[in-house]
């Protein structure tokens, strides 16, 4: 049963799902939806997701959207290498860490929001970048505080198991770097990011090594 991931190199949400597929050793085919050409608004993609957002994952006749629900689906369907802790407390902590990225910081920096700042309020490119950095820096501070004060010691965000939280937090750092946000005050976040990116599953999923990404 083929898995098809509709994604694009610069989509941080696609990056999370791509890394999850790699961590689980699942074969998939990626279909590129070129956001820079507006392909997400074309009729073919509209049929897949009327929100015009990436990623979309197709499997066994299902069409799934939203990165965290997709990752939870993968985890439930292929539980061998689990991306969630075994205990309810741990799952709550991991999911909350992930949401600092996916529900607090990332929604504010996506292209549709930056574009609307321009069209509604005349914000220029420099202003849009400053806006993005503001929210990414707040997210970075919140994540680092959580890792430092509420942490379960280990190599990754929650002990020595790679979880949903690492997928989200690494995507946060990759995004922060794209926007040249400030990561200097986040040593714990940076350390777990480097550990993850040293793994092939994350390295092969990185936005900057995908088809269509700009040369270094």
As a whole number of angstroms, the distance between CA 111 and CA 116 comes to 8
**Considering only residues 1, 50, 184, 211, which one is a binding residue for a second copy as defined by CB under 8 A?**
50
CB within 8 Å of 140: residues ≥ 6 apart: 105, 172, 176, 181, 182, 183, 185, 186, 189
Residue among 120 and 153 whose Cβ is closer to a second copy: 120
**Of 117, 4, 21, 115, whose CA–CA distance to 60 is shortest?**
4
Shortest separation between residue 89's beta carbon and a second copy, angstroms = 6
- The one segment of 19-27, 31-39, 116-124, 182-190 that binds a second copy by CB under 8 A: 116-124
Q: Give the 3-state secondary structure of 16-68.
A: HHHHHHHHCCCCCEEEECCHHHCHHHCHHHHHHCCCCCCCEEEECCEEEECHH
Is 113 near a second copy (CB under 8 A)? yes
In the window 118-157, what residues touch a second copy (CB under 8 A)?
120-121, 123, 127, 130-131, 134, 141-142, 145-146, 149-150
What one-character DSSP code corresponds to residue 124? -
Is 43 near a second copy (CB under 8 A)? no
Is 22 near a second copy (CB under 8 A)? no
- The one segment of 26-34, 59-67, 167-175, 197-205 that binds a second copy by CB under 8 A: 59-67
Is 191 near a second copy (CB under 8 A)? no
As a whole number of angstroms, the distance between CA 68 and CA 174 comes to 17
Shortest separation between residue 72's beta carbon and a second copy, angstroms = 6
Is 99 near a second copy (CB under 8 A)? yes
CA dihedral over 49, 37, 3, 14, signed as positive or negative: negative
Is 91 near a second copy (CB under 8 A)? yes
In the window 161-190, what residues touch a second copy (CB under 8 A)?
none
Residue among 50 and 215 whose Cβ is closer to a second copy: 50
Identify any residues that bridge with 161 across adjacent strands, giving them in sequence order: 158
Displacement of CA 96 from its chain's centroid (Å)? 14
Quick check: helix, strand or coil at residue 4? strand
**Residues in the site for a second copy, rule: CB under 8 A?**
50-51, 53, 62-66, 68-70, 72-73, 76-77, 88-89, 91-93, 95-96, 99-100, 102-104, 106-108, 113, 116-117, 120-121, 123, 127, 130-131, 134, 141-142, 145-146, 149-150
């Amino acid at each position: 049963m083929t898995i098809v991931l509709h994604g694009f190199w610069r989509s941080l949400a696609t990056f999370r799902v791509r890394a999850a597929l790699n961590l689980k050793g699942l074969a998939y085919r990626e279909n590129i939806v070129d956001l820079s050409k507006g392909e997400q608004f074309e009729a073919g993609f509209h049929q897949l997701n009327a929100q015009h957002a990436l990623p979309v994952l197709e499997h066994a006749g299902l069409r799934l959207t939203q990165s965290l629900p997709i990752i939870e689906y993968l985890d439930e369907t292929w539980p061998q290498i689990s991306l969630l802790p075994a205990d309810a407390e741990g799952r709550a902590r991991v999911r909350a860490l992930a949401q600092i990225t996916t529900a607090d910081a990332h929604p504010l920096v996506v292209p549709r929001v930056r574009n609307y700042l321009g069209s509604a309020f005349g914000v220029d490119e420099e202003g849009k970048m400053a806006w993005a950095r503001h929210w990414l820096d707040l997210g970075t501070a919140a994540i680092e505080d959580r890792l430092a004060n509420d942490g379960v010691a280990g190599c990754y965000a929650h002990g020595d198991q790679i979880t949903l939280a690492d997928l989200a937090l690494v995507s946060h750092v990759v995004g922060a770097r794209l926007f040249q946000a400030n990561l200097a005050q986040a040593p714990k976040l940076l350390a777990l990011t480097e550990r993850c990116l040293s793994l092939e599953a994350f390295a092969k999923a990185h936005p900057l090594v995908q088809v269509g990404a700009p040369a270094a």
